[in-house]
Amino acid sequence: MPNLYIIAGCNGAGKTTASFTVLPDMLNCREFVNADEIARGLSPFQPEKVAIEAARIMLQRIQELLKKGEDFAIETTLSTRSYAQTVKQAKELGYRITLVYFWLSSPELAIERVKARVAEGGHNIPEEVICRRYRKGLHNLYELFIPLCDFWMMIDNSQTPYTMIAEGIKAEKFTIYAPETWRLLKERH
């Protein structure tokens, strides 16, 4: 059974950084389809100028991998419903869907992390976009994506070391490791 891994979380949560370790080393997943990385490949000094082209290439690559039945991973903030159709399509093709959600304790922390990334040469995201994606991503995680996934886990990446919040099978069976954080998240979404 092929696997689709969804690496999710707000901007600045550490999705890409974690992916480069978790995907190849722990999950043996060699295909990481990431629009930001594609944009950097197209235009290393101005990736924001080729974002639309990178997104088109990313969607095309996802379709190729689905048709081949290969394992792959995508990265998303979950702030839109756009990947829901991809997940449904993958399920119809027999994929096992695993979601790893990296949570940060506040939009302000996400903004700080993005500023630190920019200072190191990374890409910027406007503050209002970070705040919007933070809220929408949590909402869509609970309302849309957890029910679609075969397995999911939530990680608090606010501090080092990270802590597990919860993990589960669909929305039916789950284990909560950080009850206070879980309660807070449920209230926020």
Q: Which domains does the chain have, with CATH numbers?
A: 3-188 (3.40.50.300)
pTM tops 0.85, yes or no? yes
Mean pLDDT of 49-63: 94
Here the tokens at position 116 are 């630190």
Q: pLDDT at position 51, please?
A: 87
State how far the alpha carbon of 11 is from the alpha carbons of 65, 114, 115, 179, in Å: 25, 7, 11, 24
158: which strand partners?
A: none
Do residues 89 and 80 make contact, with C-beta atoms less than 8 angstroms apart?
no
Q: What is the pLDDT of residues 8-25, one digit of tens each?
A: 999 999 998 898 888 988
Q: How confident is the model at residue 77 (pLDDT cuts 50, 70, 90)?
A: very high
Q: How confident is the model at residue 105 (pLDDT cuts 50, 70, 90)?
A: very high
